[in-house]
Structure 1
Amino acid sequence: MVARGVEQLTQQQRDALAWQGNLLLTACPGSGKTRTLIAKLVAEVEKVRDTPKSICCITYTNTAVQEIELRTAEQLGPGDDRHFSVSTIHAFCLHEILRPYGWLRPGFKRATTILTRESPDFELIAQHAAAQVNYFQLTQSDYEAFESLSLDPRGNLVGLAAENVAIARAAPFFWQRCAELDYIDFGTIIYGAYCLLRDHPKIAATLCAKYAWFLIDEFQDTTELQVEILKLLHATDRSRFFAVGDLAQCIYSFTGAKPELVEPFGRDIGAKMDLTLSGNFRSSPKIIAHAERLFPRTPPMTAEGPEKVCVIEPVLVRTLSNFHAITERFLPMLEEQAIPLGEATILAKDWASLISLSRQLREFGVPVVGPGARPYRRSRLFASLAEQLCGAVTDPTPESNRQLERALFHAVRDATGIARMDLFSPSGRVVFIRLMHEAKRLAAPGGAIHFLDNMSRATGQILKDAEFVDDVQAGLFYASVQEMKVDMQRQQIDIANLSVLDLGLFASPDKALRLSTIHYAKGREYGAVAMIGVKQGRFPHIRSDDVEAEKRQFYVGVTRARRLLMYISEPDRWANPPSPFLGPQGVNIL
């Protein structure tokens, strides 16, 4: 049987799909690797439909998980969801290894809550741990080191925490405090899962009896510990591996990712490694030429998409501040090229560089989304669903309806821990229509706070009536709104004058300029990209001893752009020159 959607694949993508052994597939930016991965997932589900087997897909972010789940479900039939699993590596290790088998690990305490950077107790736990080693003035980089705590197979710290003496000393106290408060962090999840597989081979055998294939996305960002987990699974000789990645886009070294691990792993599992996706369906030839100067490919990356006829040259702005470069050069170029504001982004190495710029642009009258724009934590349970409801009310379009359906699916999954694919069935459609009617009714009389309080209660009740949530889970939506209100008060937001239209802006990215870090933008694409901070001391960073890693980060920023690319090397008080990545050893625009 020919898998659905195969006719839309390129020959290179078909070759990858057809290979039935282990495969390490190299994919250039914009090459349709997600489409290829989904095609492989659908094809293999077709083969195991009448068996007890499943296909496991592991990707890097929750956003990617959601995209793959939804696009796969669109190509399969009812009930096929039991034959595939899509998750991050952390979710896979937690749900498939640590929680069911953790009792085999001496001293393991089953924790109920995953600790993330946005957890309300995160900073308190970090401060407690640091205090145990007499370190009291934590900086943003210290919190980032705590957030990225990772271990290698020998139990040694790697990544940012290993380079931070104080945080390295405080790490044991951090983990101890997590256990006391019933939390588990990402580093503990991965290390605990590895130890269980290492010490109890039957666990790997059981998993591989279940999963015929492991499909691995963004393989270049895999850590040594994660590679060892995959090797233990491969050692059972029961499952095959389909891994997709790009060494030039490895930008997570601060978590312990090592691009040099990719080729040895491929040899270890006997993978075919000479297949590549070299057609870029995103960027113009001019932008691709800049990318090729940074990291030449064999075969060379070529422009194959709609922008292959675009002849706009990348631009360097050296004499203006970030704000003036955006308002006087970037925004006029968007208008000249008819690129909608929502298809443009400003990229920087870190959030701190964007916050003041975000505020300046808002005061200038430019609608923006990004740091300093959303007045509450995006992770709040009702936040995304509320934004999509507001967007569907204030700017109803077929796309806003699709986004609302996805937000509803994710909200129910987050509240219950279950992926309810029946939300896309006729009964789910009834829930969707009821929510829309209620949102329209509640949006009319008052502002955003009135809407949030009442719509969160209504959402819980509607979902409860349809038996998608229980009593307790229904109440979580209203509780989430109270957390959002606290977030807004902390940021001194004038909540009395916050409107439904303001919230709907976050659901209508085609109306707002997006500000983002390069790390956050990875996997995304934009009609126009402005990269700020492109100067010596920032690219590469003055304290970095890994210029190649900095160059890869720069490369990822360049390759997000479809038509328009602007480098901004703003003057500073130290008179730093433009980045060497702009010179003869880089894109050669100087």
Structure 2
Amino acid sequence: MVKLLTDEQQEAVDWQESLLLTACPGSGKTRTLIAKLVAEIECVRGTPRSICCITYTNTAVQEIEQRASEQLQAGDERYIYVSTIHSFCLHSILRPFAWLRPDLGGARRILTRDSPDFEAICQYAAAQVNLLQLNQADYEAFESLSVDTNGRIIGVALKNDAVCRAAPYFWARCAQLGYIDFGNIVYGAYLLLREHPGIALSLCARHPWFLIDEFQDTTELQVEMLKLLHATRRSKIFAVGDLYQSIYGFTGARPELVAPFGVHIGARSDLSLSLNFRSSRRIVNHAERLFPRLPPMTAAGSTRDYPVDPILIRGGTVFEAITEHFLPALEAQHIALGDATILAKDWFSLITLARELRDFGTPIVGPGARPYKRSRLFAQLAEQLCGAIVEPTGDTTRQLERALFHTVQDATGQARLGLFGFAGRQVLVRLQREALRLANLGHGAIAWLDAMSQATGDILLRAEYVDRIQSGLFYASVQEMKADMIRQKVDIFNLTIEHLGLFASPTRALRLSTIHYAKGREYSAVAVIGLRTGYFPFKYSDDVIAEKRQFYVAITRAEKLLMYVAERDRWGNAPSPFLGPTGLNVLR
């Protein structure tokens, strides 16, 4: 049993029926979820059953697996199944049972934004409805396509009429080329569960508990799937979330579904985690001004008495606010760059800033930081290898394994699970030794990329993970990376191994991030930019409360230092109303 739980956390873990647990920011939600996971293993150890934990991102999956492993007995890993909702639907429902619906097809590759065919598929579908010029918003709409229980489009794509009309052509083209998108993974799994009750019976015979993380961001489709699972009366549900942190409405998330779902499954819903172990009392007080909680959120961690009030910077440019105020504040408070982040509503707002900070000499990670496309075949493996050279950590092997697996999968179109076994470790050792040898030659990052990409192809060819043609793709991708850098006007001859390693081990760099990407994370210092009327909240938004929740998530990422940046824009807009009397009331 996990020790050092609060009374609130312990009561939640001890509850033996279905539960909807409200957790304020920084309240130890993940610790509580893991404690429940570990506790329930006692009832399945020595059986074919396991506890299923579904969370929102792959990063959260890795964190839960790693932290749970520290508390498990030898061999207990077989009794836990931690997954994203998409991975659960794909591996536990769609692939084993797709044969029951011929329209779902056989094994398909997952279509992501980084897939080489993604833009071509979008362009093909758009052309069928006479949309010939696609912009960034169109690609984002295609990427986020999802449907409700009736197969109707929901989320951000619903606001793009052309993409809605092109969606059937998009899905048909995906199937034709052997792809399936994330939306159809969940929808296909739901159809199978709805039409074949035996699947739910099978899943619930395997999993007596379903632990659901970030439940406030669950869609109608996911709620209906959970209802079908609960209807078997074989499994219970332990769901953790916070309605004030529901910020994924653009994916179809509907926080108003939470309470009715709790009633439907007879879950207890009066328990709350109210102690914030992350932020100072001064930051917590600002959060409470936005959304007063009952019971109130209370600062209870080691930073609770940190003596710095949140800071408002008005006027000037974002670059000036960061370089003249935020960076000096980090230095004055002895906060490392790697413990700080700049948050914005969208990537576009960060790209120009990233280039300015890079030119200013500030190490950064985030949008605009990479001088090449992240989707280049050799890019992520190269970054992880450089990170292992510059700053090896306890997670180095795990990160390298994942990078190598995805790189080989992208090169061959095949999932080579053997890379996670002994043979894969041997390949990793060879790659690391060669990477270090080439780095020690001291010829710079460009020469290293050329040589290491060829060496990687040779090593994987000898290990029979790629064929001869595929082995040459790594060197070719480096030439694409160099072309990207030249277009970005990067001084490639002064690019170092350390620069590449930043993206694998960003502890020495200032992180630039969207608020959505930062959710679930925490930083010693946070600067929130773009706090202008008409932008935050967006002037055309039809859900200002949803944008207020997004702002709430941003400020509750901060532990010690919080800065609001209401920069000047060309229209002379005033600072965001969220900073005014109906929000934080910090404007003077």
Q: Is the contact between residue 251 and residue 552 of structure 1 (CA under 8 Å) also seen in structure 2?
A: yes
Residue of structure 1 aligned with 2:218, choices 218, 222, 233: 222
Q: Choose from 141, 161, 172 the match for 1:165.
A: 161
Distance in 1, Cα, partners of 2:276 & 2:470: 43
Q: 1:580–1:393: structure 2 CA closer, same or farther, 3 Å change rule? A: same
Match of 1:472 in 2: 466
Q: 1:483 aligns with which of 453, 477, 480?
A: 477
| One-letter amino acid of the structure 1 residue matched with residue 244 of structure 2 | A
> Residue in 1 aligned with 2:562?
565
1:409 is aligned to 401
Between 1:440-449 and 1:111-120, the stretch displaced more is 440-449
After TM superposition, give the deviation of residue 418 of structure 1 in Å. Answer: 3.8
State the distance in 2 between where 1:157 and 1:127 align: 19
Task: Single out whichever of 357-366 and 75-84 deviates more from structure 2.
Answer: 75-84
Distance 1:488 1:259, change over 3 A: farther
The alpha-carbon deviation at position 393 of structure 1 amounts to 2.3
For the 8 Å contact 1:540–1:547, the answer to whether it is kept is yes
Aligned equivalents of 1:23, 1:91: Cα separation in 2: 23
1:121-200 alignment runs, 5 A limit: 121-200=117-196
Identify if the C-alpha distance between structure 1 residues 315 and 477 changes in structure 2 by more than 3 Å, giving closer, same or farther: farther
Deviation for aligned residue 1:454: 4.4
List runs of 5+ in structure 1 lacking aligned partners.
Answer: none
> Does residue 1:587 correspond to 2:581, yes or no?
no
Question: Would the alpha carbon gap of residues 160 and 320 (structure 1) be closer, same or farther in structure 2, given more than 3 Å must change?
Answer: same
Query: How far apart are 1:471 and its partner, in Å?
Result: 2.7
1:401: how far off? 2.5
Tell me how far apart the structure 2 counterparts of residues 456 and 47 of structure 1 sit (CA, whole Å).
Answer: 49
Q: Distance in 2 between matches of 1:458 and 1:404?
A: 20
| Contact preservation (8 Å) 2:461, 2:471 | no
361-370 vs 500-509, greater mean Cα deviation: 500-509
Question: 1:512 aligned to 2:472?
Answer: no
3-state SS in 2 of match to 1:40:
helix
Runs of 5+ consecutive residues of structure 2 not aligned to the other structure: 410-414
Q: Residues 483 and 10 from structure 1, CA distance in 2 versus in 1: closer, same or farther, beyond 3 angstroms?
A: farther
Q: Secondary structure at the match of 2:106?
A: coil
Q: Give deviations 1:166-202, integer Å, cap 9, x for gaps.
A: 1111111111111111110011111111111111111
Quick one: structure 1 residues 167 and 433, their matched pair in 2 at CA, closer, same or farther if it must change by over 3 Å? closer
Q: Residue type of the partner of 2:542?
A: D
More moved, 311-320 vs 73-82: 73-82
Q: Would the alpha carbon gap of residues 435 and 49 (structure 1) be closer, same or farther in structure 2, given more than 3 Å must change?
A: farther
Are residue 538 (structure 1) and residue 535 (structure 2) matched? yes
What's the offset of the Cα at 1:48? 1.0
**Could you tell which deviates more after superposition, 10-19 or 345-354?**
10-19
Q: Distance in 1 between matches of 2:386 and 2:269?
A: 47
8 Å Cα contact 1:234/1:240 also seen in 2: yes
Which letter does structure 2 place at the counterpart of 1:504?
A: G
Q: Flag the 1:512–1:283 CA change in 2: closer, same or farther, 3 A.
A: same
Going from structure 1 to structure 2, the CA distance change for 1:150 and 1:419 (only over 3 Å counts) comes to farther
Correspondence for 2:64 among 61, 68, 93? 68
Deviates more, 1:200-209 or 1:105-114: 105-114
Shift of 1:407: 0.7
Q: Distance in 1 between matches of 2:558 and 2:522?
A: 6
**Which residue number in structure 1 is paired with residue 113 of structure 2?**
117
2:541 maps to 1:549: no
- The alignment status of 1:365 with 2:385, answered yes or no, reads no
Give 2:206's aligned amino acid. Answer: K
Contact kept? 1:376, 1:484, Cα under 8 Å: no
Alpha carbons of structure 1 residues 264 and 418: separation in structure 2 relative to 1, 3 Å: farther
The structural deviation recorded for 1:573 is 2.0
Quote how far apart the aligned CAs of 1:422 are. Answer: 6.0
Conserved in 2, the CA contact under 8 Å of 1:409 and 1:419?
A: no
Cα contact 1:385–1:407 (8 A) shared by 2: no
> Contact 1:388/1:403 (CA < 8 Å) preserved in 2?
no
**Within 5 A, what are the aligned runs for 1:32-47?**
32-47=28-43
Residue 248 (1) aligns with residue 244 (2) = yes
Amino acid at match of 2:86: H
The equivalent position to 2:258 in structure 1, one of 234, 259, 262, is: 262
Specify the alignment match of 1:575 in structure 2: 572
Amino acid at match of 1:335: E
Q: Relative to 1, partners in 2 of residues 1:435 and 1:480: Cα closer, same or farther, differing over 3 Å?
A: closer
Distance 1:221 1:302, change over 3 A: same
Is the 2:378–2:477 Cα contact (8 Å) retained in structure 1? no
Q: Which amino acid aligns with 2:582?
A: Q
Which deviates more, 282-291 or 430-439? 430-439
Asked if structure 1 preserves the Cα contact closer than 8 Å seen for 2:454 and 2:475, the reply is no
- For residues 344-493 of structure 1, the aligned pairs below 5 Å read 344-378=340-374, 383-394=379-390, 396=391, 400-411=392-403, 413-414=405-406, 415=409, 416=415, 418=417, 435-445=431-441, 446-455=443-452, 471-472=465-466, 479-480=473-474, 482-483=476-477, 485-491=479-485, 492=487, 493=490
CA contact (8 A) 2:376 2:480 kept: no
Q: 1:435 to 1:137 in 2, by over 3 A?
A: closer
Deviation at 1:433, TM superposition (A): 5.9
**Alignment partner of 1:501 is 2:498:** yes
- What is the CA-CA distance between 1:334 and the residue it aligns to? 0.8
3-state SS in 1 of match to 2:503: helix
SS in 1 for 2:42: helix
3-state SS, counterpart of residue 507 of structure 2: helix
- Flag the 1:110–1:449 CA change in 2: closer, same or farther, 3 A: farther
Q: TM-score, normalised by structure 2?
A: 0.92
Shift of 1:509: 2.1
Normalising by structure 1, we get a TM-score of: 0.92
CA distance in 1, matches of 2:105, 2:467: 25
Report the secondary structure of 2:244's partner residue: helix
SS at 2:234 equivalent: coil
Deviation for aligned residue 1:470: 5.0
Aligned length: 576
Deviation at 1:498, TM superposition (A): 2.9
Amino acid at match of 2:398: R
Residue 407 of structure 1 aligns to which amino acid in structure 2?
Answer: Q
Give the superposition deviation at 1:452: 3.5
- Structure 1 residue aligned with 2:75: 79
CA distance in 1, matches of 2:121, 2:361: 39
Give how far 1:96 is off: 1.0
Measure, in 1, the Cα distance between the counterparts of 2:22 and 2:144.
27
Q: Identify the residue that residue 412 of structure 2 maps to in structure 1.
A: none
Task: Give the CA deviation at 1:389.
Answer: 2.8
**RMSD (CA atoms):** 2.4
Question: Which one of the candidate residues 299, 302, 312 is aligned to 2:308?
Answer: 312
1:521 aligns with 2:511: no
The offset of 1:332, in angstroms, is 0.9
